[in-house]
Amino acid sequence: MSHRVSDEVVEWVTEEIRSGHSSRRHDRTIHKVGAPPKQNLLKEIKESVMETFFADKPLRHFKDQPASRKLVLGLQAVFPILEWGRGYNLSKFKGDLLAGLTIASLCIPQDIAYAKLANLKPQYGLYTSFVAPLVYAFMGSSRDIAIGPVAVVSLLLGTMLTDEISNYKSHDYLCLAFTATFFAGITQMALGVLRLGFLIDFLSHAAIVGFMAGAAITIALQQLKGLLGIQHFTTKTDIISVMRSVWTNVHHGWNWQTIVIGLALLAFLLATKYLAKKKKKLFWVSAFAPLVSVIISTLFVYITRADKKGVAIVTHIEKGVNPSSASEIFFSGKYLSSGIRIGLVAGLIALTEAVAIGRTFAAMKDYPLDGNKEMVAMGTMNVIGSLTSCYVATGSFSRSAVNYMAGCQTAVSNIIMSIVVLLTLVFLTPLFKYTPNAALASIIIAAVLGLIDIDAIVLLWKIDKFDFLACMGAFFGVIFKNVEIGLLIAVAISFAKILLQVTRPRTVVLGKLPGTKVYRNIFQYPNATQIPRMLIIRVDSAIYFSNSNYIKDRILRWLQDEDEHRKENSFPTIQYLIVEMSPVTDIDTSGIHAFEDLYKSLQKRGVQILLANPGPIVMEKLYASKLADIIGEDKIFLSVADAVASFGSKAEEV
Amino acid sequence: MSHRVSDEVVEWVTEEIRSGHSSRRHDRTIHKVGAPPKQNLLKEIKESVMETFFADKPLRHFKDQPASRKLVLGLQAVFPILEWGRGYNLSKFKGDLLAGLTIASLCIPQDIAYAKLANLKPQYGLYTSFVAPLVYAFMGSSRDIAIGPVAVVSLLLGTMLTDEISNYKSHDYLCLAFTATFFAGITQMALGVLRLGFLIDFLSHAAIVGFMAGAAITIALQQLKGLLGIQHFTTKTDIISVMRSVWTNVHHGWNWQTIVIGLALLAFLLATKYLAKKKKKLFWVSAFAPLVSVIISTLFVYITRADKKGVAIVTHIEKGVNPSSASEIFFSGKYLSSGIRIGLVAGLIALTEAVAIGRTFAAMKDYPLDGNKEMVAMGTMNVIGSLTSCYVATGSFSRSAVNYMAGCQTAVSNIIMSIVVLLTLVFLTPLFKYTPNAALASIIIAAVLGLIDIDAIVLLWKIDKFDFLACMGAFFGVIFKNVEIGLLIAVAISFAKILLQVTRPRTVVLGKLPGTKVYRNIFQYPNATQIPRMLIIRVDSAIYFSNSNYIKDRILRWLQDEDEHRKENSFPTIQYLIVEMSPVTDIDTSGIHAFEDLYKSLQKRGVQILLANPGPIVMEKLYASKLADIIGEDKIFLSVADAVASFGSKAEEV
């Protein structure tokens, strides 16, 4: 603890003389600690609300504008396409066209495959890739995100829906899927409109990394059904049930023709991925590989009629554009509440993914992205989607990356993709009849492996062990139980971290850096020296009810430890306790009471308390509570150096 | 926002010259920012766990002691009486005897009355005041607390038990009460043993003040039944139901004889309270008043036989010491889970009250109080209590205050009180037969009014409006709904405040105080001046996932606002952004990523980022993540003054 004092007694004395000098020299320029004029209550509340909900000042451009201009600005705020559309030109279109075609080729096989993850028929994946991107293109403000169904949300939806209605071929199951999609949209819109977007920040980056990796492995394991041609497969998603199911089927359940097709395609897809990783310019090889593998394997099955030898195929995809599903949403009845619950969870996860993608690309290209506006766009997209036979759509990591690399300029690439999907729905669905499920399985596996971000996990380990713990908690929760439990663990660990932060803030002992008037943590700066008869402690947090008692007790313990140590080394006892309050942004009534208690305890021990640099809010509350008078205004200083200068010499004299 | 820059251009230049000078003069003594040696993982985790759970270092005295001494110390730790008992003497006993007799006289009528609040027969109140204080005297470390049944916990228990079993005269009701008491004790012990005592700090002082005031009014309103002699009274506790019940009974339900007795006694009790408040020395008048009023009213009813005219009386109190209730606790069956739930809530509330009392008096007399040890003592006391026909006991605000004022020295005063209660149980219970319920009602009203701490509420309003809100939320929740809802509101508001704190930390713009090298918030110190071409921002919080994006966006918005403002006033544009990181105690991976994004955005804008005084943990993570290399080690400074000194002149030259 207090090993710092021991062998610097000589330096102390010189330091002491110096600070005595500086005290006198300093007197000319001593500044009073500023106590700001008392603000009135309404203004205070208004400012606090503004900073919480409107930190980005969304209406700043509206100020002092005529009504007509305000209308235009308002429309542009809701439909950003009206703003960027005016500067749209042919060269931008070229980029968007190329990117749109690329992501379309990638999304069509993925859509068909992901729909299966949600236990829905393949056309629903395509429906989702038609309507959702169109809506987003008009309302969204990210230029790089590629919208559509994604693996993790599909899996989450499939798991949660099957928990409610185990017969996923029933009409009720489909209706519940639309209901969940509708409420996912409502949730997203509500978060945006109520400006509660910051709530999704509570799912930490670390937790998302672990959750995604776990979900990827779970999804990949699920694909063993298609890849190995197993007919009777477990409906559970945890690794133990799946591996047991795979193992019990080994003798008569596996189909070797399927395995050959599946593994060949998987090898092909992974090879293209590897190539794209090595040579960034060849990203299009891996982007088109899924479509190519679908075409090749479909032709192969059609020619060899391998389906008659037990190779499972897609069989049928409904032709035509999205039918209306408005009448199929449960707005009452026993499934309403589960629809709301599933929608809430799926909507939040979808949003987390979309916002993470949006932020990443916005930072790379340095354009502003309004999180709350994005949420409204996502929400509207899913509400409209739920009425037109779509399920929950969001931004896809892999397709957004391809979109970016293919040179997309605006959300027009999403429109292009949407048109291609439309054409597919109208003309091409019969062509997928002989597509083997093994092809879809290998596409999913190749896609989700990209969600396992080993580098990020290593970085978590290096930077922050607690983050690593949250990541692993989410990861193991997902693979050993299910996605919901994984999510729950991730959120719980994230919250535990926040609680720890607010319950056990750091307090450090400061010393003076030789030759300066700077006071720093003596553990970080071993050459910092303490002042005789004084103990300087910095409190590194706002002082609230959740930590006020801890801070008080911790300060008293520092004092006791330090006093014992100084006694052992026969240094003079401590007479002044300086609390450096620069980092204390706020103090509440519990904090004030703790300081009163601290003051009383110190009085009993004959130690005087000095405060250094309390902030404006703290000063206001010190005065409002009369604590400033009790401690004495002459004991409140602008800086630690001032406090030492004023009392350091007195301390010496006593 | 940035109104500060405008009219200080002259001062700027002089400041600039000065800082240029100081730059050169300062170079000799520039200190490197300390990066502490990398700690190993285990040590890091161990330290973090120690600080969280063993912040008070409970085992410090055990270190380097022989085994026999460790045994003695261990016994003393569990039974503090072994420690303080050795120094016990006659003069201390005198104080304790007087205090014990005083609180006994106060507790006997209160016990009988409070048992009614919990819908239990009067003897259970007395049982509780016999066993619980005895156990506490051996295990507790507070010298001033008076143990026994208290009003708020009795009401809470009564409400929650009646919600489960509405027929409170049934044997099941009594068994559930013991079950809840047992699990309240287990909860308290668990919190203490697992060293989770800090969890009760999450119920903020403000919330407790509001909750207590609400509970007091609810309890007082309940007493209108006894005070007005109403026979058919609502079982609900909210103010609206109670007032309606009172009003509908006005014509034939009120009993004027009862009212006369009740109001007369209430007037007497309040008068003695007023007297005690005016003259502190006469506290004993109010301490003995309840007993006196019970004796007088009992005699009065006995002589006039007013009970035959409709004055409700106690009728019967079982004679004899506590019977065993071990066989009456539900350890299985349908009431087990509700027993656990009720016990958990009641145990926590009881603990909150006890710890608040313990801390108050410990601070007044400046002796150490180990919160976790107290919890173990309280828990043991309630577990033993539940086996011996007691219900939940805790420290009583009013009786502890009387105990303190009567000059108690140690927990022996609790033993004295316990013996008096024992004598009462064995010999005196028949004497209470004719005690009118109105007397008990007036005693309760007089007692609980002391729980309404108007001064504290006014102080909350003055110091912290958010605290006031939490207080009022709890208050209105209790009086308009019930104690449980009030508690829930209080906890919810407390948590909302914590979340707000970690989501929207403060960032401030710093300026230089004229004639110093000190940089302070320009809103608190209007004479602080900004440095041309530089913007200095202090972040006042650890940077975690919950706020990293906000902090990044907020810094960019400060930069934009300030840049616009300076452009308008044709000041040079900003080239350097200094982030003062002294208050940033920690940064996690999300925070690192946010800083990377910030760095990229600033690069695009041609602004360089400089860091001032990052702490040891932050430095470690900056290096672990390579962010220190990206930003450049030469851009990390010991202080803002150093950063300005190094780059201020360059900024000028460009």
Beta strand B507-512 with B519-521: parallel, antiparallel or unpaired? antiparallel
Which of A228-237, B38-47, B328-337 is most confident? B328-337
Beta bridge partners of B534: B576
Identify the closest residue of chain B to A501 by CA–CA distance.
B542
pLDDT in tens, B225-277: 888 888 888 878 889 988 988 888 877 778 888 899 999 999 999 999 899 88
Task: Answer yes or no: is pLDDT of A22 > 60.
Answer: no
Question: Are both A453 and A522 inside the same structural domain?
Answer: no
Identify the closest residue of chain A to B642 by CA–CA distance.
A518
Domain assignment present for B64: no
- Amino acid identity of residue A2, one-letter, is S
Question: Are both A222 and A121 inside the same structural domain?
Answer: yes
Task: Answer yes or no: is pLDDT of A10 > 70.
Answer: no
Mean pLDDT score, A188-217: 87
pLDDT in tens, B71-113: 888 888 888 888 888 889 999 999 999 999 999 999 999 999 9
Question: Are both B519 and B430 inside the same structural domain?
Answer: no
Predicted confidence at residue A650, as pLDDT, reads 53
Question: Are both B267 and B367 inside the same structural domain?
Answer: yes
Beta bridge partners of A286: none
Task: Answer yes or no: is pLDDT of A387 > 60.
Answer: yes
Measure B52 CA to nearest chain A CA, in Å.
Answer: 6
Mean pLDDT score, B379-389: 96
Question: Are both A121 and A245 inside the same structural domain?
Answer: yes
More confidently predicted of A601 and B18: A601
Predicted confidence at residue B620, as pLDDT, reads 86
Measure B649 CA to nearest chain A CA, in Å.
Answer: 21
Predicted confidence at residue A37, as pLDDT, reads 55
Q: How many residues does chain B have?
A: 654
Subunit contact B521:A44, Cβ cutoff 8 A = no
Question: What is the spatial distance between Cα B371 and Cα B349, in angstroms, rounded to a whole number?
Answer: 15
Predicted confidence at residue A645, as pLDDT, reads 87
Subunit contact A639:B518, Cβ cutoff 8 A = yes
More confidently predicted of A570 and A608: A608
Question: What is the spatial distance between Cα B20 and Cα A340, in angstroms, rounded to a whole number?
Answer: 64
* Among B28, B196, B205, the residue to mutate for chain A (most A Cβ within 10 A): B205
Task: Answer yes or no: is pLDDT of A233 > 60.
Answer: yes
Give ∠ CA B406-B365-B393 in degrees, rounded to 5: 60
pLDDT band at A14 (very low <50, low <70, confident <90, very high): very low
Which tokens hold the place of A590? 């519990």
Closest to A610 measured CA to CA, from A635, A644, A640, A634: A635
Task: Answer yes or no: is pLDDT of B559 > 50.
Answer: yes
Predicted confidence at residue B36, as pLDDT, reads 55
pLDDT band at A247 (very low <50, low <70, confident <90, very high): confident
Subunit contact A460:B546, Cβ cutoff 8 A = no
Q: Is there a contact between B236 and B218 (Cβ–Cβ < 8 Å)?
A: no
Number of folded domains that form chain B: 2
Rg of chain A over Cα atoms, rounded to whole angstroms, equals: 32
Residues in chain B with CB shorter than 8 Å from the CB of A499 are 202, 498
Range of the domain at A598: 9-35+504-653
Predicted confidence at residue A249, as pLDDT, reads 83
| Packing angle of the helix pair A589-605, B205-222 (nearest 10 deg) | 110
pLDDT band at B13 (very low <50, low <70, confident <90, very high): very low
Which tokens hold the place of A12? 């102390």
- For tokens 């192969």, name the residue: A300
Q: Is the dihedral of CA B127, B133, B134, B135 positive or negative?
A: positive
Mean pLDDT score, A557-578: 89
What SS3 class is residue B534? strand
More confidently predicted of A649 and A244: A244
Predicted confidence at residue B38, as pLDDT, reads 59
Subunit contact A459:B589, Cβ cutoff 8 A = yes
Subunit contact B616:A524, Cβ cutoff 8 A = yes
Subunit contact B521:A615, Cβ cutoff 8 A = yes
Domain assignment present for A155: yes
Domain assignment present for B543: yes
Beta bridge partners of A537: A509, A579
Question: What is the spatial distance between Cα B226 and Cα B254, in angstroms, rounded to a whole number?
Answer: 10
More confidently predicted of B189 and B24: B189
Of B202, B554, B593, the CB nearest to A546: B202
Residues with Cβ within 8 Å of residue A585, at least 6 apart in sequence: A542, A615, A617, A618, B505, B506, B540, B541, B583
Identify the closest residue of chain A to B624 by CA–CA distance.
A463
Question: What is the spatial distance between Cα B451 and Cα B478, in angstroms, rounded to a whole number?
Answer: 14
Question: Are both A514 and A487 inside the same structural domain?
Answer: no
Subunit contact A588:B41, Cβ cutoff 8 A = no
> How many A-B residue pairs are in contact by the CB < 8 A criterion?
244
Identify the closest residue of chain A to B613 by CA–CA distance.
A520
Question: Are both A630 and A587 inside the same structural domain?
Answer: yes
Predicted confidence at residue B16, as pLDDT, reads 37
What global pTM score does this model have? 0.76
Residues in chain A with CB shorter than 8 Å from the CB of B557 are 55-57
* Among B466, B495, B546, the residue to mutate for chain A (most A Cβ within 10 A): B546
Mean pLDDT score, B612-633: 88
Predicted confidence at residue B337, as pLDDT, reads 93
Question: Are both B445 and B590 inside the same structural domain?
Answer: no
Residues in chain B with CB shorter than 8 Å from the CB of A625 are 459, 462-463
Q: Is there a contact between B543 and B587 (Cβ–Cβ < 8 Å)?
A: yes
Predicted confidence at residue B185, as pLDDT, reads 96
Closest to B265 measured CA to CA, from B223, B307, B308, B219: B223
Closest to B514 measured CA to CA, from A30, A583, A643, A612: A30
Predicted confidence at residue B37, as pLDDT, reads 55
Question: What is the spatial distance between Cα A318 and Cα A124, in angstroms, rounded to a whole number?
Answer: 9
Mind giving me the DSSP string for B290-325? HHHHHHHHHHHHHHHTGGGGT--B------SSPPP-
Q: List Cα–Cα distances, B506 to B191, B456, B556, in angstroms.
A: 34, 28, 14
Kindly report the average pLDDT of chain A as a whole number: 85
Asked casually if ipTM beats, i.e. exceeds, 0.90, the reply is no
Task: Answer yes or no: is pLDDT of A241 > 60.
Answer: yes
Give ∠ CA A542-A549-A36 in degrees, rounded to 5: 35
What SS3 class is residue A520? strand
Task: Answer yes or no: is pLDDT of A412 > 90.
Answer: yes
Predicted confidence at residue A71, as pLDDT, reads 85
Predicted confidence at residue A31, as pLDDT, reads 60
Domain end point (choices B440, B469, B499): B499
Of A34, A501, A557, the CB nearest to B524: A34
Question: Are both B467 and B481 inside the same structural domain?
Answer: yes
Domain assignment present for A72: no
Residue A548 belongs to a domain with what CATH number?
3.30.750.24
Least confident of A179-193, A469-483, A562-576, B497-511: B497-511
Domain assignment present for B72: no
Task: Answer yes or no: is pLDDT of A18 > 60.
Answer: no
Taking the CB of residue B72, how many other CB atoms lie within 10 A of it? Answer: 14
Task: Answer yes or no: is pLDDT of B128 > 90.
Answer: yes
Domain end point (choices A474, A499, A524): A499
Which tokens hold the place of A441? 């399985």
pLDDT band at A607 (very low <50, low <70, confident <90, very high): very high
Residues in chain B with CB shorter than 8 Å from the CB of A589 are 205-206, 459-460, 463-464, 467
| Packing angle of the helix pair B239-248, B465-480 (nearest 10 deg) | 40
Residues with Cβ within 8 Å of residue B359, at least 6 apart in sequence: A549, A597, B369, B371
pLDDT in tens, A258-279: 899 999 999 999 999 899 888 8
Q: Is there a contact between B269 and B277 (Cβ–Cβ < 8 Å)?
A: no
Task: Answer yes or no: is pLDDT of B536 > 90.
Answer: yes
Three-state SS string over B604-646 comes to HCCCEEEEECCCHHHHHHHHHCCHHHHHCHHHEECCHHHHHHH
Identify the closest residue of chain A to B517 by CA–CA distance.
A517
pLDDT band at A200 (very low <50, low <70, confident <90, very high): confident
Mean pLDDT score, A528-546: 88
More confidently predicted of B456 and B39: B456
pLDDT in tens, A51-86: 777 777 777 777 777 888 888 888 888 888 888 888
Question: Are both B495 and B522 inside the same structural domain?
Answer: no
Task: Answer yes or no: is pLDDT of A585 > 90.
Answer: no
Residues with Cβ within 8 Å of residue A308, at least 6 apart in sequence: none
Subunit contact A521:B616, Cβ cutoff 8 A = yes
Residue B497, Cβ density class (10 Å: 0-12 exposed, 13-18 middle, ≥19 buried): buried
What SS3 class is residue B435? coil
Q: List Cα–Cα distances, B266 to B272, B441, B577, in angstroms.
A: 10, 9, 68
Identify the closest residue of chain B to A625 by CA–CA distance.
B463
Measure B455 CA to nearest chain A CA, in Å.
Answer: 12
Beta bridge partners of B394: B148
Measure A602 CA to nearest chain B CA, in Å.
Answer: 9
What DSSP designation does B229 have? Answer: T
Task: Answer yes or no: is pLDDT of B21 > 90.
Answer: no
Residues in chain A with CB shorter than 8 Å from the CB of B553 are 55-56
* Among A50, A205, A375, A630, the residue to mutate for chain B (most B Cβ within 10 A): A205
Least confident of A121-125, A155-159, B459-463: B459-463
Which tokens hold the place of A507? 């307090």
Mean pLDDT score, B162-183: 93
Question: Are both B374 and B510 inside the same structural domain?
Answer: no
Question: What is the spatial distance between Cα B235 and Cα B343, in angstroms, rounded to a whole number?
Answer: 21
- Amino acid identity of residue A495, one-letter, is F
Q: Is there a contact between A507 and A538 (Cβ–Cβ < 8 Å)?
A: yes
Domain assignment present for A199: yes
Predicted confidence at residue A639, as pLDDT, reads 87
At B510, phi and psi to the nearest 5? -100, 150
Domain end point (choices B499, B521, B556): B499
Q: Is there a contact between A258 and A225 (Cβ–Cβ < 8 Å)?
A: no
Domain assignment present for B255: yes
pLDDT in tens, A28-43: 345 666 665 555 667 7
Residues in chain A with CB shorter than 8 Å from the CB of B497 are 544, 588
Least confident of A462-476, A481-495, A554-568: A481-495
Domain assignment present for A145: yes
Q: How many residues does chain A have?
A: 654
Question: Are both B285 and B369 inside the same structural domain?
Answer: yes
Of A465, A524, A585, the CB nearest to B505: A585
Closest to B517 measured CA to CA, from B653, B650, B644, B651: B644
